[in-house]
Amino acid sequence: MSVDSTAVLCYIGTERPKDMGFHALRAPIYQAVKRLNMMLSVSAVVPIFLIMMGGVALRKLGQISDHTVTELNKIIFNYFFVFNMFRTIYNTELSEMLNPRFIVTILVLALLTIAALAIFVPMFFGEKKVQASLMQGILRSNAIFFALPVTEAIVGPQNTGLAALVIALIVPLYNLASVVMLETLRGGSLKASKLAVTIVSNPMILGMLAGVAAKMTGLQLPAVLEKVVDDLAAMTTPLALILLGASLTFKDTLRFKKELAFACLAKLIVIPLAFTLVVHFMGLGPVAVTTAFAFAAAPTATSTYVMAKEMDADGPLAAQIIASTTALSMVTVFFGVVLLSSLGWIG
C-alpha cells in the first residue's frame, strides 16, 4: 500500500495523541518521507544527467564533431519533434490538457517575463550584443528535452499532455520574442509575413495541432502506425540530450562572470520560483505546478548559440549561457523537486 507523503506530514503536524509511543515514530516517518522525496528527485534528474554525460564522453573521445551535432539537431527539430509532440498529446486524456485557467496563467507569466527582460537587462548591461544574448539565453529553454522527462518522472506519462501543450504554445512565443529582440537590437527591420510563416511551420505547432485534432475527432491509429510514431518519438529526448552534452563548452566562463551570474540567477531561480508560486497559490493543482516548474526551470536552448551568431549577438556569451545553465540546472532542478515534493506541491 502506497503512502501519501503530504498526508503523512499533515498528520504528524496535528496534536500529539496521548500514546507516547507515537513520539518515537515521528523521526522514522520523517526520514521515510525525505527518502521518497529524494528518490523522486533522483528519478527526475539523474537519467537526464547520465545521458548528457554520454554526449560529453563521445565528444572527448572524438566520436562526434560539431558538424554532426549541428546536422543531427536539425533532424531532431524538423522531424522528430513532430512525432514527439503528437505522441505526447495523443496518449493524454483531452480533459487533462484543456485547462483554460492554467494556460492563461502561463501565457500571462510568459508575457511578463518577456517584458521584464526588455526592461531589466538594459539597466545592467549597456552593450547591445550582450543584451541580445542575455535576453535570448534567459528566455529560450530546452523545454522539450527537460520539461517532458521531468514532468513524466514526477506525475507519470499519462499527465504530460499539459506540459506538451504549454511547450507547443509558449516556446514559439519565446522564439518569436527572441527574434524581435535580436533584430531590434542590431538595428534591423522585421517582416510580419516572415514571422507568420515561421510560427505556422514550427514542428512543435504542427505536432501539437495534429495531436489535438486526433483527440478531438477520436482518431485511433492502427497498431502498426502507432508503433512507428512511438519509436520515432522515443528517439527524440535521448538523442537530443546526447547532442546537448556533446556541445557543452566552458572555455570562456570566467570572461563573462557578471553576465553568467545574472543569466543563471534569472533563468534557474527567479523565473521558476515566480511560475511555481503563482500557479500553486492559484490552486491549479499538483500536475499544473509540476508542469510550470519543469517548464520554467529548464536550461537554455542549444539553438540560441546559432541564432546569436547569425543575428550579430555575442556568440561566445551565448555558448557560455547554454553550458552554465545546463550544468547548474542539474542542481537547481534536483533540489527544487526535493523542496516542492516535501511541501506536497507536486506529484
Tens digits of residue pLDDT in 121-130? 999 998 999 9
Q: Would you call 267 exposed, middle or buried from its count of C-beta atoms within 10 A (0-12, 13-18, 19+)? A: buried
Which pLDDT tens digit goes with each residue over 253-293? Answer: 778 899 999 999 999 999 999 999 999 999 999 999 999 99
What sign does the dihedral 244-250-253-255 (CA atoms) show? negative
**Alpha helix stretches (DSSP H) within 61-99:** 66-75, 81-90, 94-97
Which pLDDT tens digit goes with each residue over 157-171? Answer: 888 888 888 888 888
Query: What is d(CA 329, CA 281) in angstroms, rounded to the nearest whole number?
Result: 24
Question: What pLDDT sits at residue 15?
Answer: 47
pLDDT surpasses 70 at 18 = no
Question: What pLDDT sits at residue 295?
Answer: 94
Domain 45-343 has CATH 1.20.1530.20: yes
Q: Would you call 318 exposed, middle or buried from its count of C-beta atoms within 10 A (0-12, 13-18, 19+)? A: buried
18-22, 62-66, 105-109, 210-214: segment of lowest average pLDDT: 18-22
4-13, 89-98, 192-201, 288-297: segment of lowest average pLDDT: 4-13
Give exposure, 207-227, as e/b (b: 16+ Cβ within 10 Å): bbebbbebbeeeeeeeeeeee
pLDDT surpasses 50 at 3 = no
- The pLDDT mean for the chain works out to 83
Start-to-end CA distance of the chain, whole Å, equals 17
pLDDT surpasses 50 at 9 = no
Written as nine digits, the cell of 212 is: 489535438
Which pLDDT tens digit goes with each residue over 50-61? Answer: 988 998 899 889
Task: Give pTM, 2 decimals.
Answer: 0.77
Q: Once rounded to an integer, what is the mean pLDDT over residues 293-308? A: 87
Domain boundaries, the chain: 45-343
Query: What is d(CA 48, CA 144) in angstroms, rounded to the nearest whole number?
Result: 12
